[in-house]
Structure 1
Amino acid sequence: MYVLNEVMIDPYQLEDTAVYNERSLRTLVRAIVLSQGTFSLILAHCNYTALRDKIVQQLREQCSVPIRELVLEQSVKTLYSTIETKLGQEEPSAVMVFGLESVSALEQLLRATNRVQEEFRNFTFPVVLWITDEVWQKLIRLAPNFESWATIVEFRLANEDLIDFIEQTTDQVFAKILDAGANLFLDNAALNLGIGSPRRVELESAR
């Protein structure tokens, strides 16, 4: 064991997290491959954008199935019809959806998803939804039937990377405060830490 910024770090935990994520990635690849020609729901659970981006890049490299990637706009109100509209006449082998955590009317979207869940069976491909803790909790509460269909794959951030993330955020906050000067008050929004902001959500997930 060693101490970094007064946080105890187990050197074996770093390796264990890497092994865990590699196993999760293999599970995700296998779920996509085995679901060809039929609908299946896969929830990829990850709270950190940088880690998610890393995993997605590895998925692109390791998965033999081409994956159509969709990013939801903040203004969307439904999931099924949004996917259907974005695909048009396409018949993808798999679809991966980003941005649920940024949807303004997320609760409305999830309730609508639960109501029309049977329509998802019209899709003949697996759908991977990237979710955070907050999205997952709302899924369970507002779309329990839809969530119950899912295969859940989790990805974890190693303690060392988590500490780096916290230190980087702290440095950025102090830099903004110094740049603003002593006479200017900066609220959380000005520091990119407003309620619901991606950076704040990631920090809260680190507790």
Structure 2
Amino acid sequence: MISLSNSENSTVNTITLTKRLARAMRLSGGEFSLLLVCCNSIQRQQQVLNLLTEFLSADIHEIVLSPGADKLYTAITTEIGATQPEALMVRGLESVVAINQLIISTNIMRNEFRKQFRFPLVLWVNDEILCKLVWLAPDLKDWAASTIRFDLPNNQLVKSEQQAISA
């Protein structure tokens, strides 16, 4: 039986999930879709974004939200203007000070996203933001396909580290 090391297994998993993300973005086909990508590490996010360019030749626009952002829709429309990129990645949600307000306003404005945007919207979230989406914006969360998770939830990560230490 062939056994992969944790590092090799992690790399294979990252490639598989990145291909899944690329496929989901391609399937949008000029229509709005919401994709949630959960990753607790900023460095891992960058690694995935670099890898994504190998699997997807689309014009991917990226926005990094400022800590002062309070409305996602406004931040996006201000950034892209009248252009319609092939895909849009939004990062930095974890740094937004008024994150609850931003999530609630996004849920309220969700129909405008579908009316105005003809591209996949990829929201990069961590575990905390994902939980807030479930509680504060369940309608918006329901629009997204299943969340693509690039690492274990924090509570599972802690358990696995504790098991490794005690082994």
TM-score bracket relative to the smaller structure? 0.7 to 0.9
1:133-152 correspondence runs (5 A):
133-151=127-145, 152=147
Q: Which residue of 2 aligns with 1:129?
A: 123
Identity of aligned residues (%): 39
How many residue pairs get aligned? The number is 154
Q: Is the 8 A contact 1:69 1:97 kept in 2?
A: yes
Asked whether 1:120 is paired with 2:113, we answer yes
Asked whether 1:74 is paired with 2:67, we answer yes
Q: Secondary structure at the match of 1:15?
A: helix
Q: TM-score, normalised by structure 1?
A: 0.69
Unmatched segments (≥5 aa) in structure 1 = 1-9, 158-202
Of 4, 12, 23, the residue aligned with 2:16 is: 23
Return the alpha-carbon distance in structure 1 between the equivalents of residues 64 and 21 of structure 2: 19
Residue type of the alignment partner of 1:153: I
The alignment's C-alpha RMSD in Å is: 2.0
Q: Is the 8 A contact 1:107 1:142 kept in 2?
A: yes
Higher relative contact order (Cα pairs below 8 Å, separated by 6+ residues): 2
Q: TM-score, normalised by structure 2?
A: 0.85
Q: Secondary structure at the match of 1:104?
A: coil
| Residue 11 (structure 1) shift | 5.5
Residue type of the alignment partner of 1:99: G
Q: Secondary structure at the match of 1:44?
A: strand
Q: Secondary structure at the match of 2:143?
A: coil
Tell me which stretches of 4 or more aligned residues in structure 1 moved more than 4 Å: 203-206
Q: Which residue of 2 aligns with 1:154?
A: 149
Q: Secondary structure at the match of 1:148?
A: helix
Decide which structure has the larger Cα Rg and report it.
1
